[in-house]
Amino acid sequence: MALIIPKDYRPTLMPETTEQAIQLIKRSFQEKLSKGLSLRRVTAPLFVLTGTGINDDLNGVERAVSFPIKCMGDRRAEVVHSLAKWKRMKLGAYRIPTGFGLYTDMNAIRSDEDLDNLHSLYVDQWDWEKTISADDRTLDYLKKTVRQIYSILREMELIVYDRYPHITPALPADITFIHSEELLLMFPDCSSREREAKAAEKFGAVFIIGIGNPLSNGEKHDGRAPDYDDWSSLNSDGYYGLNGDIILWNDILNCPFELSSMGIRVDKEALLRQLEVSGCPERAGLEFHKALLEDRIPLSIGGGIGQSRLCMFFLKKAHVGEVQASVWPEDQIEICRKNNIELL
C-alpha cells in the first residue's frame, strides 16, 4: 500500500481536541469490550524470551526486535509481535472458566513494516482471549462473537457523534460474512487485497472467514501462523477456517481498513495438522505447544483490535500518525504536512 493523500483533506479535530477524543474512545471501548465479552483486564509483557514459542510469528517472515539480557548470561528476549499465544497460557494459569476471558493493552514494535497511512513501527491493540468449550468451536459461535464486537463498534460511533456532531456515523447496521474462497470465486482475476476492497466497498463492513489455509487456486488469502488460529478445520459452510478479519470501508482513504484479526484457536488436532502443513512439526516441542498438547491450556477464541486504527477510523483521520506517536520517513512527514496531515 502506497501513501494515500485524500483530495482537499482537512482534519476533523485540532490536535489538542484529538488527544481528548483518543482518550474518550480508548476508555469507552475497552469498558464496553470487557462487559460485552465478559473479559477482565490483565497486565501484559512487552517482551518474552526467545525460543519459547510464545511470541506470535505473524506470517512467519517478520523479524522480532530482540536484545540480550546481561544478568541472564546474554540470553535473548524479543519484543512481542502480539500476545496471541501468551493470552491463552494466561487463561490456563488464572483458571478462567468457560464463557469468561481476559483482555490487555498490547504494545509492540514491528520493524519490518512498510510505513504508510495504516502501518506503523509501533503497534498498539487490545489483545483479548476467552475460554470456550469444545461445543463452541463452530462457525456459528465465531459469527456470534464477531457480531458482539461489531455492535460495540457501532455504539462507539454514536458516542463519538454525540461528543463531536460533525463526525457523522457511517457503519452499516450489520456486518456481512464472506469466506475467502467465496471472494476468490466472485473475483477470480483480482488479488486478495483487491477482493477485500471490492467486498468492503460494497457492504461497508465485512468479516472475511478462513485466512491461512490455501484456497482453490493454491494461494492463501493472507498468511497466518500455524499455532494460534484454526484455519484448517472444515466449518459448517463447507469451507476451511474458523478465523478471519473484520474489515471496514474507509471513506476517507477509499480503501479497505482491517480493524481486527481474530478466531477460534487451534485444538490439539488442528495444531499438529497445521504445524505439519507449514513444515515446522518440530515446534511441537516448544513450551507453548507442549502445554497445549498436554491439555494444560484451555480451548479459546481470541483476537486483537487495533487501538490507533480504531481512533483513526472514528475520528476520520487520514494517517495513523495523527493518533499515535511514532517514527516516519522524512519525505512522508513532509508530504503529509503539505496536505494538512499533521503527524504526532
Residues with catalytic roles: 56, 110, 125, 245, 258, 261
Closest by CA position to 37, among listed 247, 300, 308: 300
Q: Name the grid cell of 164.
A: 463531536
Q: In what order do the strands lie in the sheet with 205-209?
A: 39-41, 101-109, 122-131, 300-306, 255-264, 243-250, 205-209, 176-179
In degrees, rounded to 5, the angle at the alpha carbon of residue 217 between the alpha carbons of residues 214 and 221 is: 45
**CB 114 within 8 Å of CB 120:** no
Calculate the alpha carbon distances from 166 to 14, 84, 253, 255 in Å: 13, 37, 18, 22
Show Cβ contacts of residue 16 under 8 Å, excluding neighbours closer than 6 positions. none
What type of residue sits at position 279? G
H or E element that contains 122: strand 122-131
